[in-house]
Structure 1
Amino acid sequence: MDSVILSRMLFGTSMAFHIIFATLGVGVTLMILFAELMHWFKKDSDYGLMAKRWTKGFAILLGVAIPSGTIVGVMLSLLWPGFMEIVGKVIAVPFQIEIFAFFLEAVFMSIYVYAADRLSHMMRIVSVTFVAFGASSSAWLINIAHSWMNTPRGFEVTDGIVTDVDPWAAVLNPSMPYTSKHVLATAYMTGAFVLVSIAAYRLLRKTSSEQERAYHKKGLMLTLVIALLASIYTASNGHATAGMLHEEMPLKLAAAEGLFETQANAPLAIMGTPNIEAQTVVGGIEIPGMLSWLATGTTDGVVQGLNDFPQDEWPPLFVHTLFNLMVGIGFTLLGLAVFALAWAIIFRKKDLPAWLLVALVTTGPLSMFGIEMGWIFSCTGRQPWTIYGIQLTSDAATQSGNVGMLFFLFIGLYIMLLVLTALVLRFYFSRNPVQQDLTVMNG
């Protein structure tokens, strides 16, 4: 198999694995902060216990996130030497600053975990605020490089040589505000929905005591509110991103929607399969004018189609399916959060019905699947470019052999790490059940 394809497979698999832990590292730390704030505001010790237990889970996940992130960093250098040659000259700034963001997160995480019982409540809030800030800053800074790959700025290439480098122009590239905010919003949403899933699952268990059920109900309501807010912001930011794609990456937008001909009143195609011969999306549902409105703010806006670009520069058209899955999952999660909170408000004195709890259990896996689809769409929609319009993926990749063997070795490693992480989490929380902590806490 071609070394370029193998390099993409190996790096893509590594990113898909790491993104699970990186996303939860950002989202769960924010939820820990909100739990501490609720503990301080309501003087309810249940929220303090939530923060403590969520922190234990986060610490276990962090133990996998750090080495998997290191692997991704090493693979960038080994698998994409042509890409890294430009990166080192143009967009190294966010990588350098990210080291300090991670340092901030690690230091205050240590303080929060190991000295929490010796700190005042306000100092615990300050500590976990810095943890959440460090985690979010790391994600933002790393994503700057990703956004730059989509809309490269801050340099020129003359006869294959990088010249006229402006690092801050590279950092402040046109897609950076949109993609970075989107990454953070989806991470917050996913972290909240994963905790929604856990609380809903625990409430489905009839063996839980009333004291424990009250604890999980509080956790469910808190996480649902944050999940809803993050979902709404994610949807609004996604709308803004469509406008950015229209201006900066019209080919990617056309591929995402399966739009072949440039037109005003361009339709939004929901599902279906883009067919090159038929020059349309087969089996999809079209909403007239909606794509023009999303991209330009008016249904009369003109949206460029695929046929305006050379076909050898088209990304794989299955990105249309990836895009629809990502958006569909996002709106499904938003709808479930709205429905569950509305039910809880209307039937204030009643428990959520079992069928609704079952639906909420699915939200964590669904949100994580949506994150994976979003990252695959974002990277695949840029193909055949590594740096859009500047460097082809084939020019960025290594030409060395044995990448295929490494691919299978790392697949085995990632499967083993996933299984071990799940077992460690299950072992820890089965040995330290909520009821035991509630009993200790309440004397």
Structure 2
Amino acid sequence: MGTTEMARALFGTSMAFHIIFSTLGVGLPFMIVIAEILFHWKKDRDYAVLAKRWTRGFGILLGVAIPSGTIVGVMLALLWPGFMEIVGQVIALPFQVEIWAFFLEALFMAIYVYAADRLSPVMRIVSVVLVAVGASASAVLITDAHAWMNTPRGFQLVNGQVTDIHPWAAVFNPSFFITSMHVLSTAYLTGAFAVTSIAAYKLLRGKLEEREAAYHRKALMLSLIIGGAMALLSSANGHSTAQMLHHHQPEKLAAAEGLFETTAYAPLSIGGWTVESEQRVRGGIEIPWALSFLAGNRFDTVVKGLNEFPRDTWPPLYVHTLFNLMVGIGVFLMALAFGAIFWRAWLKRPYPRWLLALGTITGPLSIVGIETGWIFSCTGRQPWTIYHIQRTAEAAIHAQSLAGLFVLFVSLYAFLLVVTIFVMRFYFHRHPVAPELQHPLEAPASLHKKRIGGGRLGGSPA
């Protein structure tokens, strides 16, 4: 494996680990906001307990997200010096503003956790809303740099020198709004389905008092509604993304669909795998004219094929599989969410065990969808780090000693993942929900300082 490939593997592994915690760190605060609002609107203390326990889980996840995000930032500078030389001059603004977004999140997280019982209901909601706003703003600002890599604007590169710099043009690049909306909707989706998995698991196990079972059913219904709505929003945004790719990254769109020849009335290939020697997708199901419609809202839209571009600028053809996996997971989650809502709310029937069993896998599936989506987006841009401006090999470090670092950090991430799971399980096993449902409620988000300080951390935040 060459230096460039090793740098990509090391950075990709770091991002794959961090993105689990950063995504949940955006999705869970959104769920907490909804639970807080429902508590004050319906006067149902179960929603306050939900907000309280989700906040505890969020706090544990945040403890891992912060250092893993710091590692990713250090690796950007360490592994991609050529890239950072341009970034520092053109698109540094979102990184600087993101620090303030994190401060906003951290400040109001502290207020919500430790001072909620001293605030009025309105101010308590405001505090947790600002936590969610800070988390979402951080995601949008970091995503902006990624969007700029796909659709770079705001500078010229003349004889290797960066000139004619316009930072705001770089910030508001053509894919900024579409990419940011997709990142937020999928993060909210992931937070919701993480709750779905836990609530479904609790109900599937059975042996619950009716009071506790009712509590978990509320968590399940709320998460299904939000998860289904966000899955629907993500699919609508996916249509906009296809149009953005058609105009700005036609190679990625062609590779995603295994399209080799430029054509009107282009079909959409579902499933299968791309075979370069045959220049087609083998084993897929074709929907006639659908790709043209997705690309331009017309069935006769001309979609460029891979043969329009030099072979050395093609993305890896396995991105077709990544794209299908991402879309397939999204469709499954949306169908499951709306099917379960229809079953419970419209038919007035209890959740069957098979439906609860499917519900338990929605959280892990949403994480897999997030991971494959990011890999597709980054790999589909190859061989470019900055699309049509800087190749990945030009951006990478030239050191030859990355293999040891790769093993070290992969081991560290595996250790942190195991420890996080253990801490979650231990903490919530020691602090089950049943006593909180029976005793008078403290502040909805209040954490017992003596418990956190005493190290009694680790079960399920629902």
Aligned AA for 2:238?
Answer: G
Deviations 1:276-335 (A, max 9, x none): 121111111111100000001011110000000000000100000000000000000000
Please, which moves more after superposition, 51-60 or 278-287? 278-287
Equivalent residues, number? 442
Partner secondary structure for residue 281 of structure 1: strand
Partner amino acid, structure 2, of 1:376: I
- How many angstroms apart in 2 are the aligned matches of 1:188 and 1:409? 32
Counterpart Cα distance in 1 of 2:185 and 2:30: 11
2:406 is the alignment partner of 1:407: yes
Query: Structure 1 segments of 4 or more deviating over 4 A?
Result: none
Map residues 62-101 of structure 1 onto 2, 5 A cutoff. 62-101=62-101
Q: Secondary structure at the match of 2:439?
A: helix
Q: Give distance in 1, aligned partners of 2:276 and 2:85.
A: 36
Query: Hey, what does 1:47 align to over in structure 2?
Result: 47
3-state SS of 1:302 partner? coil
Aligned mates of 2:317, 2:271 — CA distance in 1: 12
Q: Pick closer, same or farther for the CA change 1:29–1:231 going to 2, 3 Å.
A: same
1:431 corresponds to: 430
Tell me what 1:397 maps to.
396
Please state how far the C-alpha of 1:236 moved relative to its aligned partner: 0.1
> Could you tell me which residue of structure 2 aligns to residue 166 of structure 1?
166
Partners of 1:108 and 1:79 in 2: CA distance? 34
Cross-structure match for 1:311? 311
1:274 Cα deviation from its structure 2 partner: 1.2
Deviations 1:355-395 (A, max 9, x none): 11101111111111000000000000000000000000000
Structure-2 residue corresponding to 1:8: 8
d(CA) in 1 for partners of 2:360 and 2:120? 35
The aligned counterpart of 1:276 is 276
Structure 1: 5+ residue runs without aligned partners? none
Q: Tell me the residue number matched to 2:455.
A: none
Q: Does 1:381 align with 2:380?
A: yes
Deviations 1:226-260 (A, max 9, x none): 11111110000001110010000001100000000
Aligned to 2:37: 37
Q: Distance in 2 between matches of 1:346 and 1:252?
A: 42
2:366 aligned with 1:367: yes
Q: 1:183-213 CA distances to partner (integer Å, 9 max, x unpaired)?
A: 0000000100000111111111221110000
TM superposition shift of 1:124: 1.2
Q: Within the alignment, does 1:177 sit opposite 2:177 as a pair?
A: yes
Instruction: Report the secondary structure of 1:441's partner residue.
Output: coil
Equivalent position of 2:192 in the other structure: 192
Query: What secondary structure does 2:174 align onto?
Result: coil
Question: Could you tell me how far apart the structure 2 residues matched to 1:76 and 1:291 are?
Answer: 35
What code does the residue aligned with 1:309 have?
F
- Measured after TM superposition, the shift of residue 151 of structure 1 is 0.4
CA distance in 1, matches of 2:439, 2:399: 58
Shift of 1:347: 3.0
TM-score for the superposition, normalised by structure 1? 0.99
- Shift of the alpha carbon at 1:122? 1.5
Q: Give the whole-Å Cα distance in 2 for the aligned partners of 1:430 and 1:121.
A: 30
CA distance in 2, matches of 1:440, 1:418: 33
| Alpha-carbon distance between aligned partners in 1 of 2:435 and 2:201, rounded to the nearest angstrom | 18
For residue 442 of structure 1, report the CA deviation from its aligned partner: 7.0
Aligned to 1:324: 324
**What do the CA deviations read for 1:371-422 (whole angstroms, capped 9, x no partner)?**
0000000000000000000000000000112211000000000000000000
1:355 corresponding residue in structure 2: 354
1:118 is aligned to 118
Aligned-pair Cα RMSD in Å: 0.9
Tell me how far apart the structure 1 counterparts of residues 441 and 143 of structure 2 sit (CA, whole Å).
Answer: 44
1:315 partner SS: coil
Letter in 2 for 1:407: F
TM-score (norm 2): 0.95
The AA in structure 2 aligned to 1:358 is A
Distance 1:51 1:228 in 2: 20
Cα deviation, 1:56-79, whole Å, max 9, x if unaligned, reads: 000000000000000000000000
Q: Within 5 Å, which residues of 2 pair with 1:231-246?
A: 231-246=231-246
In 1, the alpha carbon distance for the partners of 2:298 and 2:234 equals 21
Gaps of 5+ in 2: 443-462
Distance in 1 between residues matched to 2:344 and 2:121, nearest whole Å = 30
Aligned to 2:299: 299
Give the drift of 1:118. 2.0
Written as runs of structure 1 = structure 2, the 5 A alignment for 1:128-277 is 128-277=128-277
Amino acid paired to 2:160: G
| Equivalent position SS for 1:376 | helix
Cα distance in 2 between the residues matched to 1:8 and 1:293 = 34
User: Counterparts in 2 of 1:281-292, with a 5 A limit?
Assistant: 281-292=281-292
Q: What SS does the aligned partner of 1:157 have?
A: strand
Cα distance between partner residues in 2 of 1:232 and 1:388 = 30
Q: Render the CA deviation track for 1:21-53: whole Å, top value 9, x for unaligned.
A: 000000000000000000011000110010000
For 1:242 and 1:340, how far apart are their aligned partners in 2?
Answer: 29
